[in-house]
Structure 1
Amino acid sequence: MRLLRHLFAPSSRRLFPEASLQRIGAAIAAGEARHRGQLCFAVESRLSLRELLDGRDARTAALSAFAQLGVWDTAGNNGVLLYLLLADHRIEIVADRGYAARIGDERWQAVCEGIQQALAAGEAEAAVLGGIAALSEIIAEQFPRAGGTAGEGNELADRPVRL
């Protein structure tokens, strides 16, 4: 069953056309103007046959993307990856170690559930924009911008990534 879902997964290009990616990137930039955290959004349509045969799940794929995109390598240990695997209908949030003692799993899970509800309603862009807004609130609570210029210290590109 999972193999079929991955073979016939919706295209990330169809769900998130270029204009949509630009709006998502603008939302990330706007959120980061309010906090010192680094937020990244990555979407993957499907996993490869080899990854499926190896038993790779969405969480493992998200952790790999977290490393590949350098989200773990921020100066303040305050990077957050919002990862969406379309074939498995999975949303994963991977937060750097700076959040470990500050934010419980239930807060991250609540954001995932909000995104899932909007996705189920067929609103892919709105789902991600809502997730980015919710994550920006959490990040701003923990790493508020204390003066300086918005965009200062922007260590990761705001542009969403298609994997």
Structure 2
Amino acid sequence: MAKDNLPTSQASFARWWRQVLFVPMLHSKWLTHDVRARLTTKVTAAERGHRGEVFLIIENHLPIHSAYHMNCHERAIELFSAYRVWDTEENTGVLVYVNICEQNLEIVADRGISAHVSPTVWRAMCDKAIAGLANQKVEGSLTDLLDEIGQLLSQYYYLEHDPSGNELSDTVVFLK
């Protein structure tokens, strides 16, 4: 979702406790080396044929020291900045942030692509992927989402001859 669409989160002891009590070994078994490699390949495929950049971050849980005050949307914005997804030539970076503990997914799109895609489209894409996550179809939901983002970027930033240049790494970032 675009940066301006959600209010800042309210402090939450429940959110903080979920992060403290989260046991990664029980919830992120699906994220094997092979799955990460396939998702990285899918990011690369989603970037073909256009000038957009897609960046995928999967995180076990919110940082404990921030979880009381920070929700997944705010964390996604923080990572959008930290990983410089905003720093593409035409402002076409799109961050997909998945938080395993919260079973949440956020999309943060830079101003270039957000000028063309409404917040309701981004939210619908998030909601569809979250439904897949809830049904234990994590990899399939993420690959479908990456395909959809690639199609959107192609619609607005199509290149007939896609250069091999890449402004952001395609490698999936996994934050434990």
The TM-score, its normalising length taken from structure 2, stands at 0.84
Q: Percent identity?
A: 26
The answer on 1:44 being equivalent to 2:50 is no
CA contact (8 A) 2:96 2:106 kept: yes
Q: Name stretches of at least 5 consecutive residues in structure 1 with no aligned partner.
A: none
- Of residues 158, 168, 171, the one that matches 1:156 is 168
User: What is the alpha-carbon distance in structure 2 between the residues aligned to residue 47 and residue 60 of structure 1?
Assistant: 10
3-state SS, counterpart of residue 73 of structure 1: coil
The answer on 1:97 being equivalent to 2:111 is yes
1:110 match = 124
Farther off after superposition, 4-13 or 68-77? 4-13
What RMSD over aligned residues (CA atoms) do the two structures have, in Å? 1.5
CA offset at residue 13 of structure 1?
Answer: 4.8
**85 and 148 in structure 1: CA distance in 2 versus 1, 3 angstrom threshold:** closer
CA offset at residue 148 of structure 1?
Answer: 4.1
User: What is the alpha-carbon distance in structure 2 between the residues aligned to residue 47 and residue 136 of structure 1?
Assistant: 27
- Of residues 116, 135, 145, the one that matches 1:121 is 135
User: What is the alpha-carbon distance in structure 1 between the residues aligned to residue 46 and residue 160 of structure 2?
Assistant: 14
- Of residues 14, 19, 35, the one that matches 2:34 is 19
CA offset at residue 41 of structure 1?
Answer: 0.4
CA contact (8 A) 1:45 1:85 kept: yes
CA contact (8 A) 1:83 1:91 kept: yes
Q: Name stretches of at least 5 consecutive residues in structure 2 with no aligned partner.
A: 1-13
CA contact (8 A) 2:49 2:161 kept: no
User: What is the alpha-carbon distance in structure 2 between the residues aligned to residue 38 and residue 26 of structure 1?
Assistant: 14
Count of matched residue positions in the alignment of Structure 1 and Structure 2: 160
Q: 1:27-77 deviations in whole A, cap 9, x for unaligned?
A: 111121122100000011112221023x11111100111011111001111
